Each structure stands twice: as structure tokens, then as C-alpha cells.
Amino acid sequence: TVLFAAFHRRYNDNVLSLRRRLRGEPPIEWMRVRYLERIEEHVGDDRWYLDPERCGGGCVADNGPNAFDLVRMFLGDVELESAEIHRDEQGVDRQALITLRASSGASATVELDWSYPNGEAKDVEVRLADGTVLSADMLDGFPVFKSSLEHEYVGVLDDFVRRVRAGDASDDGGLAALRLVHAAYSAERAASAAR
């Protein structure tokens, strides 16, 4: 059976353009993925996102997997190095700063925010070993709210169809992203217990 996680940001035109630019360049030394938004603008009248009992988590569980998948897309497998998670009065994680490390030694910072006051910002920045800094704004060229999703989900569906036709049931990174979500929440619990 072909199972497939819809990591739509891996099909973003600007992210793919950045990946193409990196071919033949020095290796990545550091990268940052920012996933910043005001969640109330995304949920509409359905407030289940803001209920940890129903949603299972906040920004780390929701936006974390897409952000972690982008890190893995550029760096390969990564491990959690640290997680700083901030919760609101209802216990929902609304901001997080997560540091990851690849076996190459490259590090990645993932910034997640559900209380971002300035619309939304979703981007990737990489610093190469020679000091060159390159970036991709996932929303650049898509001025209408959520309009970047259309071409990304075309990519999701095309890739899924290709995998089904090929009988390709290989790992798509879904479990790796969930392990990082689990590791971030576990690190938060361990830090709280140590206080």
C-alpha cells in the first residue's frame, strides 16, 4: 500500500528554485526555516486547532512537520539538538525555536509562530560553507492569501500518482517528521521536569 504524507512545501516553486541554485555550490553549513503566521487567520470559525485536547498540539504539531521536512530536504536526516517552546494560557504551543543537527555537522533553526502579528512569513535561508547566503520566500509571487497552496498541491497529487503507478511504497519522510515533533515535545517536558 502506498502511503504518502502531503508535505506540500517541498513542491513550492521558490524552494525548488533554491535547491537548483545549490547544485555545484559548497555544502550548507547552516539553514533556517521560518513558519510564522497568526493561526486565527487560518482556522476561521472552527476553533479545534486551538484546543490541545482535540488537535494534539499547537504550532510544533501543525507547522513543525512541514518545516522539518524542508530541513531534511536540504540536509538529509537530522536529530533534535534543542527545543524552546512557549505556550499560551490554554496550554497551546504558539511559538517554538527548534535546533536540529545533521550528520554532516550542518545545523538548522526552525522558527514556528502562531501569534505572528504581521500577516505571515514562510521562508528558507541557507548559509554555505563559503559564507554565501541564499534564500527562498515560499510566498513570493503568491500575493493572495493561501494562493501558494494551489501549485504545491498540484505537486503533491502528481507525485502521489507517480508513486501509486510505480508501486513505490518507500518512506516519504512522514515518520521522520513525526519523530522530530515527538522529540521536541519530549525535550520540553524534560526541561520542565528539571526546573
Give the H/E segment covering residue 102: strand 93-102
- pLDDT tens readout for residues 86-138: 999 988 999 999 999 999 999 999 999 999 998 899 999 999 999 999 999 99
Whole-number pLDDT of residue 148: 94
What are the residue ranges of helices labelled H in 58-172? 59-62, 64-75, 148-166
Q: Is the pLDDT of residue 3 over 90?
A: no
CA–CA distance from 73 to each of 24, 90, 158 (Å)?
16, 34, 18
- pLDDT tens readout for residues 5-61: 999 999 999 999 999 999 988 999 999 999 999 998 887 777 777 887 787 889 999
